[in-house]
Amino acid sequence: MEKTGMMLDVREVLVSSEEIQDKVRELGERITRDYRDEKPLLVGILNGSVVVLSDLMRHIDLPCEIAFMAVSSYGAGTTTSGVVRILKDLDRDITGRHVLIVEDIVDTGLTLSHLRRSLLSRGAETLEVCALLSKPSRREVDLEIKYLGFEVPDEFVVGYGIDYAGSYRNLPDVCVLKPEVFEKDTGPPG
Ligand code: 5GP
């Protein structure tokens, strides 16, 4: 089929929208079983997690709440401390709550391991991670991702919530862009 629109910038579809939808349904069903009789709080990390969070929550057949945080890492590549700056904090107390962090992609794992410690120190009863994607070859810290969608190779990906320079979040598939898309810059970030 001939490519049109944003797909003209795509070199390769790594995970198709059908595969994502099947996996997100399966994760939602597992979460429903694991949290039965509880009211989990899904914490989405902005902006990348909004697409996966909104699909995932519709497959969780339990009363659940959502909340959001935004973070930025201190100068990627210049630190291994894993300290992240909180740009937008949670709007509620999480003492005693069953918190499930929802993230788009785990790379070094530094962002999530910092967030995990931070949320546990606020008294969350349990804290687990759900991530659509993981790049295991890039991991710098040990981090359990209890609910994982897909492992991907060390390539810069976009789509299904994940951006390049603010764009491509609305692609339904997870994709790798053509090199010429980055040519005006210095190459893919990261
Ligand atoms: P970590 O702290 O695990 O190294 O960083 C995770 C964050 O890096 C993700 O939430 C995402 O914002 C960014 N990231 C990692 N890999 C990619 C990628 O392939 N594409 C994009 N757009 N962002 C990525």
Complete domains list, the chain, with CATH: 17-153 (3.40.50.2020)
Residue 75 has pLDDT above 60, yes or no: no
Nearest CA to 148 out of 109, 177, 91 is that of 109
Q: What percent of the chain has pLDDT over 70?
A: 95
Task: Evaluate if pTM is beyond 0.85.
Answer: yes
Q: Quick one: pLDDT band at residue 79, thresholds 50, 70, 90?
A: very low
Average pLDDT, the chain: 93
Ligand 1 centroid, distance to 106 Cα (angstroms): 6
Contacts of 41 (CB under 8 A, 6+ apart): 64, 65, 66, 67, 94, 97, 98, 99, 100
Q: Is residue 104 flagged as an active site residue?
A: no
Burial 134-144 (b: 16+ CB within 10 A, else e): bbeeeeeeebe
pLDDT digits 0-9 by tens, 85-111: 999 999 999 999 999 999 999 999 999
Instruction: Provide the angle, in degrees to the nearest 10, between the axes of the packed helices 17-34 and 50-57.
Output: 60
pLDDT digits 0-9 by tens, 29-71: 999 999 999 999 999 999 999 999 999 999 999 999 999 999 9
Ligand 1 centroid, distance to 37 Cα (angstroms): 33
Which pLDDT score, from 0 to 100, does residue 189 have?
Answer: 82
Nearest CA to ligand 1 atom 15: 107
Quick one: tokens of 94?
Answer: 């999480």
Nearest CA to ligand 1 atom 2: 111
Q: Quick one: pLDDT band at residue 120, thresholds 50, 70, 90?
A: very high
Residue 80 has pLDDT above 90, yes or no: no
Nearest CA to ligand 1 atom 16: 107
Respond yes or no on whether the N-terminal peptide bond of residue 47 is cis (omega within 30° of 0). Answer: yes
Q: Quick one: pLDDT band at residue 144, thresholds 50, 70, 90?
A: very high
DSSP H/E element including 52: helix 50-57
List the 41-46 sheet strands across, edge first.
84-88, 65-73, 41-46, 98-106, 126-134, 147-151
